[in-house]
Amino acid sequence: MIIVMKPGVSKEKIEIFKERLEKRGLMVHVDFGDNYCILGLIGDTRAIDPEQIQAYEEVEKVMIVQEPYKKANRLFHPEDSIININGRTIGGGKLAVIAGPCSVESEDQIVSIAEDVKEAGAGFLRGGAFKPRTSPYSFQGMELEGLELLKIAREKTGLPIVTELMGTKMLERFVEDVDVIQVGARNMQNFELLKELGKTNKPILLKRGLCATIEEWLMSAEYIMAGGNENVILCERGIRTYETYTRNTLDLSAIPAIKKQSHLPVIVDPSHAAGMWWMVEPLSKAAVAVGADGLIIEVHNDPANAKCDGQQSIKPNKFKSLMDSLKEIEKFKWSFNVDKLGI
C-alpha cells in the first residue's frame, strides 16, 4: 500500500502518522519529494482499511499495490491447488465434469440421470434440492427429500454429490450428507454463510455472483479460506451484461485471469451462462480450450417437462457425444505457465 500525503504536511505530523502505522506491525518507508511525501507500507496490510486511511486529513491518496486476497493468491501459493473429493480430484490438469439435473424431481429421475452421466464419463453428480428461484411461486426444490434422493443416487452410482446450500440453517446436515457444497451466484456475497463454510473442511463450489468482478469473487473465496477451509473450487457461470440474447454472458476471459491470479481450480457452467441447451456444446468446448479445470452441466432425461431450467438442459445422449468430443479439445487446452508468459 502506498500513501501519498497532502502537500505542506509538516515532518512532525508525518512522523506521528508513520509511528501510528508502525504500531500496527508494518514497516514504513518514507520518501520526501519536492511537493509530496510518499509512505510505502511493507508487511501484512490485510488489516489496514484503505478507506479509513483516506479519512485522515493529512492524506491525499491511498494506492493499493497488492491484491487484497492472500490465501487465494497465486503469489503466495505458486502450485495449482487440487481438491480431493472422496478419492476424486478437481484441479491439477485432469478435466472434472459434474453433471445432472437442475433440480432433483424423483428417485427414478435422479437415479436414471446419474447412471447415464456416469456411463458418459462424468465424475460427479449435480442436483438441486433447495432451489434459489427468482419467483417465490416457482418450484422451490424437494428440499430434504431431494437430499435423500441424491444420497440414493450416490449409493447406486458411486458419484459424489454436488448440491446448493442456501443458508446456514441446513449447514450441519449438508456437511454430513453432501460431498461438495455449492454456493450459488446469488449467495456469493452472503458473508455469514461463507464464514460458516470456512469453519468446515468440505469442498465448496463457489459460483461467481451475478454482477461480481473477479476480485470480488476471489474475496469471497478468501472469506472461506480465511476461516481455515482451503478446499474452494471457483465456478464461472456467466455475468449480467447489456446483452439480452443469452441468459448471462459467459466470461471466458475469467478463466485465464483466475489462473494467473489464483491457485484455486476454476470450472465453467455453460448451462446457466447461456440459458439455451444448444449453446452448451460450443461453450463447453471453448471453456476447456481456454484452460478450465472442469465443467458443470445440466443434463435432464425429459427437458420439456423439467421442473427447472429445462430450456438449458441437454439430454443424456447429447451429453455423451459432448464428453467424447471434449477429449479432442483437451489436447489443445491452454495452461497457465508463468515462465512462458513472463508475467
Q: How far is the CB of 279 from ligand PEP (least distance, A)?
A: 15
- 53 or 166: whose CB is closer to ligand PEP? 166
Binder of residue 132, out of Mn ion, ligand PEP, none (CB less than 5 to 8 A by kind): ligand PEP
Q: Which of residues 284-313 bind Mn ion (CB under 5 A)?
A: 309
Q: How far is the CB of 134 from ligand PEP (least distance, A)?
A: 10
- 91 or 141: whose CB is closer to Mn ion? 141
> Residue 76 has what DSSP assignment?
G
User: φ, ψ for residue 317 (rounded to 5)?
Assistant: -70, -35
Give how far the C-alpha of residue 213 lies from the chain's centroid of Cα atoms, to the nearest Å. Answer: 11
Task: Return contacts of 5-13, CB within 8 angstroms, 24+ apart.
Answer: 5/36, 5/37, 5/38, 5/39, 5/58, 5/59, 5/60, 6/57, 6/58, 6/59, 6/60, 7/35, 7/36, 7/60, 9/37, 9/58, 13/58
Query: DSSP of 150-190, one letter per residue?
Result: HHHHHHHH---EEEE--SGGGHHHHHHH-SEEEE-GGGTT-
The residue whose Cβ lies closest to Mn ion is 102
User: φ, ψ for residue 88 (rounded to 5)?
Assistant: -100, 165
- How many of the chain's residues bind Mn ion (CB under 5 A)? 2
User: φ, ψ for residue 31 (rounded to 5)?
Assistant: -125, 115
Q: How far is the CB of 231 from ligand PEP (least distance, A)?
A: 19
Residue 258 identity (one-letter amino acid): I
Q: How far is the CB of 185 from ligand PEP (least distance, A)?
A: 4
Report the residue from 53, 85, 102, 233 that binds Mn ion according to the rule CB under 5 A. 102
| Block residue for cell numbers 504536511 | 9
Q: How far is the CB of 294 from ligand PEP (least distance, A)?
A: 14
Binder of residue 184, out of Mn ion, ligand PEP, none (CB less than 5 to 8 A by kind): ligand PEP
> Residue 62 has what DSSP assignment?
E
- 198 or 209: whose CB is closer to ligand PEP? 209
Measured distance CA(20)–CA(17) in Å, rounded: 5
Residue 84 identity (one-letter amino acid): N
Q: How far is the CB of 239 from ligand PEP (least distance, A)?
A: 10
Q: How far is the CB of 116 from ligand PEP (least distance, A)?
A: 18
Q: Give, for 90, the enclosing helix (H) or strand (E).
A: strand 88-90
Neighbours of 48 (CB within 10 A): 18
- 92 or 132: whose CB is closer to ligand PEP? 132
Binder of residue 294, out of ligand PEP, Mn ion, none (CB less than 5 to 8 A by kind): none
Binder of residue 228, out of ligand PEP, Mn ion, none (CB less than 5 to 8 A by kind): none
Residues that bind ligand PEP (CB under 6 A): 102, 128, 132, 184-186, 207, 237, 269, 272
Lay out the site mask for Mn ion across 43-82 (x = CB under 5 A, - = otherwise). Answer: ----------------------------------------
Residues forming contacts to Mn ion in the complex (CB under 5 A) are 102, 309
